[in-house]
Chain A
Amino acid sequence: MSEGVDRDKRRFLTLLTSGVGAVGAGFAATPFVLSMTPSARAKAAGAPVEVDISKLTPGQLHTEEWRGKPVWILRRTPEMLQSLPALDKQLADPASTVIDQQPAYAQNPTRSIKPEVLVVVGICTHLGCSPIKKLEAGSDAILGDDWSGGFFCPCHGSKFDLAGRVYKNVPAPTNLVVPPHMFLSDTRIVIGEDKKGGA
């Protein structure tokens, strides 16, 4: 029955058919895979937001929503600012060397444009929880007796100081993200846009 069969030709044709079929399947899968990427509407949302910080008193924190994420604006007191340099040894990246975590204008000891006004995305760099605010320095039930004030992520125990810098030996690998922002005036901030344009 199999006499006179050209096996090489048969194998070649089988491989060719399978190959063409696989390429076709790849093309056919593409629209389905791409349909799951963020839609045009999702991309268009996320315009910059403007915040009036004139009513923010020293030591007070205001939460603003930007692109579905909480953004914290904290007006730090002089004591808070003084506490920052002393922590350097306990921090994983005290000098903010990971450049993705902040724009160049916030790569400084206070991680801010104006020393007293901190703007950070309130999302833990570990797995995206929103840390809780533990702004008061002093003893704390969870964080111990010599807590210098900052943020504590309840999910996995990451700690950040009052400049959003991450402590050593916690699950979060990097400092909190400083979003692009700029001052329109002394009391008005835009989040999501800076002098270079939109984020």
Chain B
Amino acid sequence: MEKLLAWIDDRFPLTKVWEEHASKYYAPKNFNFWYYFGILATVMLVLQIFTGIFLTMHYKPDTALAFASVEYIMRDVSWGWLIRYLHSTGSSFFFIVVYLHMYRALLYGSHRQPRELLWIIGVVIFIALMAEAFMGYLLPWGNMSYWGAQVIISLFDAIPFVGPALAEWIRGDFVVGDATLNRFFAFHVIAVPLVLVVLVFVHIVALHKVGSNNPDGIEIKKKKDANGIPLDGIPFHPYYTVKDLVGVIVFLMVFSAVVFFAPELGGWFLEHDNFVPANILQTPPEIVPLWYFTPFYSILRATNTDLVLALRGIVVLAALVALFKARGLSRLVALGMAGALLAALFMLDAKVWGVLLMVGSLLLFFFLPWLDRSPAKSIRYRGWMYKLALAVLVLSFFILGYLGTRPAAGPNLIIAQVCTLLYFAFFLFMPWYTSIDKTRPVPERVTK
């Protein structure tokens, strides 16, 4: 056995890789519950790819056959129902896990220096995952699949000048049709999964370069023993491989329970309207994306001329503050930016702004490492302002998510608009509230 290993090691750095990434990869010893979600996201990725491969053996990407082929999988293919439900319920669980994984970063400052690039790769993974889920949802060719795709592809129409041509290029036809279904199939089963796997690999390489953060937000590499091993670190294998295994098993229990007893979760994981074949003449009474998109969808719908009017007011106010508070060059820059923004707010109509705000609500995540000015990374040592801001973000995210599933009129619309502004406030006011927030001193070593 040892001879074989030596033979391999001469030709491939097997032992080296194993040591670098597992047996001698030192992770902080104080990981808690929130540190399960990375491995769980990996498990979900593998499960989605695995079940997806088996689904493609029976699925037909053709508008005339797609819907029936999915029903065929559900009814006639041996165990087809299980594989399909693992995949469709799996996508929702994937998003649950990824959202919790991202929330963990916000709790403990895992996006902060030196992990900016790790965080950026993660946000790219999140966006790729959204694209993957969106294209996968068209494949069953249900009525919600069809109209959901119709609405989202129409977003590109809003881009000035090139919009309509771009939307046509994405659809491959003047409307969502066979060409669209076929290409979404290609993207969903090969192009985006390949990108995702590569990105996840890069994400882990970046993580192992900078080392894991921890609930105290302390760099364990700063305190090392004589052998250069972090005092607060323990080898990933066997300590965390075993811990993660327990987490994975518990998670799979919960996941299986949902797959077996409530795979559609009352319409939250698979919408009722999607059990009707696509009908190009009949929009479902409510076009609602799946829950993991509804917060962003809500932002899109909340943007009407009233909100644009409110935004104009806010920009003018911000400009006034800059006029009195800022000095010299930064005042000029601030005023110039306010002027440009104001001009854009007058020139582009609410439809374009809806798309811009929705895209912006995602892109802002990229800037988080630089928006956050707090001396403490972990929420344990931050003051009340960040805690309040994070609570407001989570609350408005949930409210937006819920409102995204309800008709957009009356009080719902106004609440969605308020939550949209609060969502953006979390990011845009962050440099201000994190720099004046009173933090507690961060300890030298990790705590229990």
Binding site for B on A (CB under 8 A): 33, 36-39, 42, 46, 63, 65, 67-70, 122, 126-132, 142, 154-157, 168-173
Contacts and interface: CB of A to CB of B under 8 A. Distances in A.
Interface in B154-179: 154-155, 157, 168-175, 177, 179
Contact of A127 (B154, B171, B174): B154
Contacts of B281: 63, 65, 70, 122, 130
B76 interface: no
A38 B168 contact: yes
B388 interface: no
Contacts, number: 102
A154 B408 CA distance: 8
B306 interface: yes
Given A42-B173, A65-B281, A128-B151, A154 B350 contact: no
Contacts of A37: 168-169, 172
B173 A128 contact: no
A69 B350 CA distance: 25
A68 B169 contact: no
Given A68-B280, A129-B150, A170-B304, A39 B407 contact: no
Given A70-B280, A130-B283, A173 B349 contact: yes
- The size bracket of the interface on B is 35 or more
A153 to B, nearest CB: 8
B139 to A, nearest CB: 18
Given A171-B303, A173-B351, A128 B150 contact: yes
Contacts of A65: 280-281
Given A127-B155, A157-B301, A171-B304, A132 B285 contact: yes
Given A129-B150, A171-B303, A173-B351, A157 B175 contact: no
A157 B413 contact: yes
Interface of B: 147, 150-155, 157, 168-175, 177, 179, 183, 280-287, 300-301, 303-306, 349-351, 354, 407-409, 413
A129 B351 contact: no
B172 A171 contact: no
A1 B426 CA distance: 57
Given A65-B281, A171-B304, A156 B179 contact: no
Contacts of A168: 305
Given A42-B172, A70-B281, 5 more contacts: A38-B174, A154-B286, A155-B287, A157-B409, A173-B349
B174 A39 contact: no
Contacts of A33: 169
Nearest to B287: A155
Contacts of A70: 280-282
A154 B172 contact: no
Q: Is chain A's interface secondary structure helix, strand, loop, or mixed overall?
A: loop
User: Quick one: which of B282, B300, B304 has the most chain A CB within 10 A?
Assistant: B304
B408 to A, nearest CB: 4
Identify the 3 closest CB pairs spanning chains A and B, nearest first. Answer: A68-B175, A128-B154, A130-B283
Contact of B350 (A128, A129, A171): A171
Nearest to A38: B173
Given A142-B409, A171-B354, A36 B151 contact: no
Contacts of B173: 38, 42, 68
B327 to A, nearest CB: 40
A149 B175 CA distance: 28
B305 A154 contact: no
Contacts of A173: 349-351
Contacts of B151: 127-129, 155
B301 A156 contact: yes
A157 B283 contact: no
B301 A171 contact: yes
Nearest to A92: B305
Nearest to A63: B281
Contact of A36 (B172, B303, B351, B354): B172
24 contacts: A33-B169, A37-B172, A38-B179, A68-B174, A69-B175, A126-B351, A127-B154, A128-B154, A129-B151, A129-B283, A130-B283, A131-B283, A132-B283, A132-B285, A142-B407, A155-B283, A155-B287, A155-B408, A156-B301, A157-B409, A157-B413, A171-B301, A171-B350, A173-B349
